[in-house]
Structure 1
Amino acid sequence: MNKTNLGVALVTGASTGIGYATAAVLQNAGFRVFGTSRRLSAQRSDGVFMLTCDVTDDTSVAKLVDDVLAEAGRIDLLVNNAGMGLLGGAEESSMTQAKSLFDVNVFGVFRVTNAVLPAMRRQGKGRIVNLSSVQGFIPAPYFALYSSTKHAIEGYSESLDHELRAFGIRVSLVEPAYTRTSFEDNLAKPDQLLDIYDSARAGMNVIVGKAMEKGDAPDVVAKTVLAAATDAAPKRRYAAGKMARQVSFLRRFVPALAFDKSLRKQLGLPV
């Protein structure tokens, strides 16, 4: 792989976890990488240049893209990674909280993508990689709103890929399972807690924590993003890691009733 001609990459949410690892892997592979964080972040020592951006703010997103184009002249790859989680019963979140989650995980992707697309169209080529999740195709209990955001990104990405091929732009999804990051520590709590969900919510927190400890390293996801960004014939979806590949396979080929029972059993829910 020629490290001099992979182009310019923009990675949102690059200060920690999957985004941090992805920016490093892309930089090492030969991309010139700009990463973002919502708050002012110290510059990295690996060559990734950090910029501040709030993906929920139109002005902030526009400034980010203008700054990258002013510095590098082009954007060849956009990795939409910035996002947040929420664990709790679906009815435990107010509409305000639900809208806030969608503003980051869904509308944030829309904003950054829309801001980057004019430059990619002028170039006549580009790649967009959107970070989804296995919850983009397997909703998990007590993650109803988070799963909904990932389902939205799945549908958006698939439609967008059809629309943009005529301009030489391709869109792919990367779908990780559990990954060893601080995700579980940063899960938002519902803003209108109900006693009836206390036990189940606490149990799910334990399950998620244990699963994260055994999950894939962020580099596994980062290398999958690199594959999506550089494959000559990009696929629509990339499962990131062994567990994600297994879950994707089972979802497609195991009868729905059997899959449902297995999922509930693993999560300690009555079958």
Structure 2
Amino acid sequence: MSKVVLITGGSSGIGKSIGEFLSEKGFKVYGTSRSPEHYTSSKFPILKLDVKDASTISSCVQSLLELEDRLDVLINNAGVGITGPIEEIPLDEMKSHFDTNFFGPLQVIKAVLPQMRKQQNGLIINVTSIAGYMGLPYRGIYSASKGALELVTEAYRMELKSFNIKMTNVAPGDFATNIAAGRFHAPIQEDSPYKVPYGNTLKLMDSHVDFGKDPKIMAEAIFKVINTPDPKIHYKVGEFIQKVSIVLKRILPDKVYEKMLLNHYKL
């Protein structure tokens, strides 16, 4: 029997690549979007879901269960980016960001757990970010939201263990997607003390995405995780240097690591 997979944010970028790859492998894939009517030509069904709207989450899960009567894998992929000097990002934008990247995935998890508990099995994959392992300049709020999801997964795994429900994180590095176009950019203000360093860092971040890896690599990694009987807690998918940076953070003195980041971003 083909496994049933739900991918939030499955209409574009990494989510779309994962959905297409898993569909080719024989999975029954359902993606989600706030505006599914825009994706009628998708290679797999797109259901309506907004991770910031609990009613759409409940309706989506209910619709899926009416179609399939089970859910084997949830891939919490929906997310947004945010950049800017922390001092200059409006508080409402910070809260909105966490609603999407942190509280949103938690709400989707809560919606699928009763069914997975009923089945006595299930797998939840939270797509986080290598940026969630460190506080990056002018990406601090994004790092914080992804880091929070990484940590809450560690706790959730232990709470779900007795129900045979598994949970893991997959943290991508930079991939060639449209995330830069969709993220919130604090404007570069002419009178801002951060004008020059923030502007330069923004160009560097955008270039990383523009020359990022093919998101199919992420899809292949997710496929391997799904087929792993006992998934690890954390997976990292990206350039060698990006994965090494996490190891260096663990072994280097804090100020040495901070200096390394400052040199990288030319700050």
The alignment's TM-score, normalised by the length of structure 1, stands at 0.92
How far apart in 2 are the matches of 1:213 and 1:71? Answer: 38
Partner of 1:251: 249
By how many angstroms is 1:31 displaced? 1.4
Q: Secondary structure at the match of 2:193?
A: helix
The gaps in structure 2 that reach 5 residues or longer are none
How far apart in 1 are the matches of 2:106 and 2:207? Answer: 33
Partner of 1:178: 174
Q: Secondary structure at the match of 1:68?
A: helix
Q: 1:167 and 2:186 equivalent?
A: no
Amino-acid identity (%): 31
How far apart in 1 are the matches of 2:2 and 2:225? Answer: 13
- Given the superposition, is the C-alpha separation of residues 191 and 202 from structure 1 closer, same or farther in structure 2, using an over 3 Å criterion? closer
Partner of 1:57: 53
Moved more, 104-113 or 241-250: 241-250
Q: Secondary structure at the match of 2:205?
A: helix
- Given the superposition, is the C-alpha separation of residues 145 and 21 from structure 1 closer, same or farther in structure 2, using an over 3 Å criterion? same
Partner of 2:120: 124
By how many angstroms is 1:245 displaced? 2.6
Partner of 2:212: 215
Contact 1:178-1:212 within 8 A present in 2 as well: yes
How far apart in 1 are the matches of 2:91 and 2:202? Answer: 23
Query: How many residues of Structure 1 are paired with residues of Structure 2 in the alignment?
Result: 264
RMSD: 1.7
How far apart in 1 are the matches of 2:40 and 2:154? Answer: 34
Q: 1:228 and 2:225 equivalent?
A: yes
Partner of 1:104: 100
1:86-110 Cα offsets, whole Å, 9 max, x none, are 1101111222111111111111101
Q: What are the equivalent positions in structure 2 for 1:199-214 lying under 5 Å apart?
A: 199-214=196-211
How far apart in 1 are the matches of 2:34 and 2:187? Answer: 22
By how many angstroms is 1:267 displaced? 0.3
Partner of 2:238: 241
By how many angstroms is 1:191 displaced? 7.2
Amino acid in structure 2 at the alignment position of 1:221: M
Contact 2:75-2:126 within 8 A present in 1 as well: yes
Contact 2:84-2:187 within 8 A present in 1 as well: no
Partner of 2:135: 139
Contact 1:132-1:173 within 8 A present in 2 as well: yes
By how many angstroms is 1:225 displaced? 1.6
By how many angstroms is 1:238 displaced? 0.7
Which of 64, 75, 78 matches 2:74? 78
How far apart in 2 are the matches of 1:255 and 1:242? Answer: 23
How far apart in 1 are the matches of 2:223 and 2:39? Answer: 24
Partner of 1:22: 18
How far apart in 2 are the matches of 1:45 and 1:133? Answer: 26
Q: Secondary structure at the match of 1:98?
A: helix
By how many angstroms is 1:45 displaced? 4.8
How far apart in 2 are the matches of 1:231 and 1:43? Answer: 32
